[in-house]
């Protein structure tokens, strides 16, 4: 059954300036949520909740205070600077709130009188705000769900005939990451220290990573969880996801190769994970649903899906050396992911693991078949063998001062965009621990 409704109508227009431009990521059909503050606003830089519309941010915290928007009834859910309380209200409330916000911004159904004035005053130019983490991340799990990426890495570090481990085609592989170092776009990333051991070294040494990498991913934000001991099916898991962000799981490949056996990545991925500031809701992505690729081997019934739960999201990666223009180094699409976020969440809960509002699931690196669609420098340069041309030189892995920017959007009758997810590499800390 279709879940499309009037909020998806491509003919719908907003009275907000810039919201109807064909190039905007944030038309009235999108309405992504974020957290922001306004310098010099007189409110002490308080973090507020808003939605993006064109080049503006609609301040939901203010509208809630004024009674224009009350998704939590008598309880204020936009007051503490994160979306966790709102997400915990569930999918029916998310949908009702989306409809209410869309009606407030609709050119053909705009409010009048005092309410119109209140909404107009609650619009803030996007250039005048500072973005913050939109949710308090309770837990972070990173998956490994691209068959192309897993095959590339397995080919590099094992051999083509054994590129995929025996379990990969049966189970969404993942590991628990560090929620404490998930940061919002624009936060600098410091080059990590770690234990390093080359194939010819007799013993490891302590030093700064020389093979610092990015990973193009999509992050799923859990909106409503499950009680401990109660697994979710894929349909319920799909409904429990509030929305999606761009995600860069920065990786230190030389630290990773020494530490990852037998338990997987640890320090090589614990130093920083960047997410885009705007959460594009699951409801906004409904027109762009796409099936997962054809199964190589049948999945167990709990992972089967009756609906297409991937999305047709175009993705790009830009790399800009310090002082240089950006070069687009990768173009790919989320629809090629072998396991959907719903399958990942369903598997995560299978053992009875309790998930909570604000939990973050990383898709794993998103790679396509062609070389220019690979989602990491590890693949794009084939572990440094094939330097990648960028403005002003080449790269095998990231250098200090490099800025990586991820972009994503759905292209159809309207553009549903994610904005950007950026981070700049800072030098490693001076000195090393004794």
CA distance 273 to 363: 13
CA distance 259 to 236: 36
Q: Which among 326, 346, 324, 290 has a CA at the least distance from the CA of 422?
A: 326
Task: Please state, in angstroms and as integers, the Cα–Cα distance from residue 3 to each residue in 7, 47, 221, 390, following that order.
Answer: 10, 33, 20, 43
Task: Please state, in angstroms and as integers, the Cα–Cα distance from residue 136 to each residue in 150, 183, 200, 359, 419, following that order.
Answer: 30, 10, 43, 8, 20
CA distance 429 to 434: 13
Quick count: other Cβ atoms within 10 Å of Cβ 161? 8
Instruction: Please provide residue 384's backbone torsions phi and psi, each rounded to the nearest 5 degrees.
Output: 90, -5
CA distance 245 to 29: 17
Q: Given the residues 8, 99, 149, 347, select the one marked as catalytic.
A: 149
Going across the sheet that includes 130-132, the strands are 123-125, 56-59, 48-53, 33-37, 130-132
Residue with tokens 């992505």: 285
Q: Which two tokens stand for residue 42?
A: 């007189």
CA distance 276 to 405: 10
Annotation says 149 is catalytic: yes
* Catalytic residue list: 149
């Amino acid at each position: 059954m279709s879940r499309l409704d009037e909020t998806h109508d491509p003919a719908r227009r907003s009275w907000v300036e810039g919201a109807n431009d064909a190039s905007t990521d944030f038309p009235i059909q999108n309405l992504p949520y974020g957290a922001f503050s306004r310098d010099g606003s007189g409110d002490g830089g308080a973090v507020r909740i808003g939605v993006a519309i064109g080049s503006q941010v609609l301040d939901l915290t203010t509208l809630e205070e004024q009674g224009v928007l009350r998704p939590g009834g008598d309880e204020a859910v936009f007051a503490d600077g994160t979306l966790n309380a709102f997400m915990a209200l569930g999918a029916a409330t998310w949908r009702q709130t989306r409809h209410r916000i869309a009606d407030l911004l609709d050119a053909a159904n705009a409010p009048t009188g005092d309410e119109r004035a209140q909404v107009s005053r609650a619009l803030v130019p996007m250039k005048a705000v500072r973005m913050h983490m939109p949710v308090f991340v309770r837990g972070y799990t990173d998956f490994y769900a691209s068959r192309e990426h897993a095959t590339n890495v397995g080919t590099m570090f094992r051999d083509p005939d054994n590129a995929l481990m025996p379990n990969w085609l049966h189970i969404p592989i993942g590991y628990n990451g560090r929620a404490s170092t998930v940061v919002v776009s624009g936060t600098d990333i410091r080059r990590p220290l770690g234990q390093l051991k080359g194939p010819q070294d007799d013993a490891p040494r302590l030093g700064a990573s020389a093979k610092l990498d990015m990973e193009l991913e999509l992050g799923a934000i859990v909106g409503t969880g499950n009680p401990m001991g109660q697994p979710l099916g894929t349909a319920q898991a799909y409904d429990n996801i509030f929305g999606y962000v761009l995600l860069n799981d920065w990786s230190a490949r030389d630290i990773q190769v020494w530490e990852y056996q037998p338990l997987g990545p640890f320090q090589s991925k614990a130093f920083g994970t960047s997410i885009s500031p705007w959460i594009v809701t699951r409801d906004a992505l409904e027109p762009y649903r796409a099936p997962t690729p054809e199964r190589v081997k049948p999945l167990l019934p709990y992972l089967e899906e009756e609906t297409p739960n991937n999305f047709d999201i175009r993705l790009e990666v830009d790399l800009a050396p310090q002082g240089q223009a950006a070069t687009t180094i990768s173009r790919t699409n989320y629809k090629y992911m072998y396991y959907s976020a719903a399958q990942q969440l369903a598997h995560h809960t299978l053992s009875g693991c309790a998930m909570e509002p604000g939990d973050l699931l990383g898709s794993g690196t998103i790679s396509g078949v062609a070389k220019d669609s690979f989602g990491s420098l590890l693949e794009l340069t084939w572990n440094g063998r094939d330097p990648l041309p960028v403005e002003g030189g080449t790269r095998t892995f990231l250098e200090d001062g490099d800025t990586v920017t991820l972009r994503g959007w759905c292209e159809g009758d309207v553009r549903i965009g994610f904005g950007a997810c950026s981070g700049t590499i800072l030098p490693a800390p001076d000195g090393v621990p004794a």
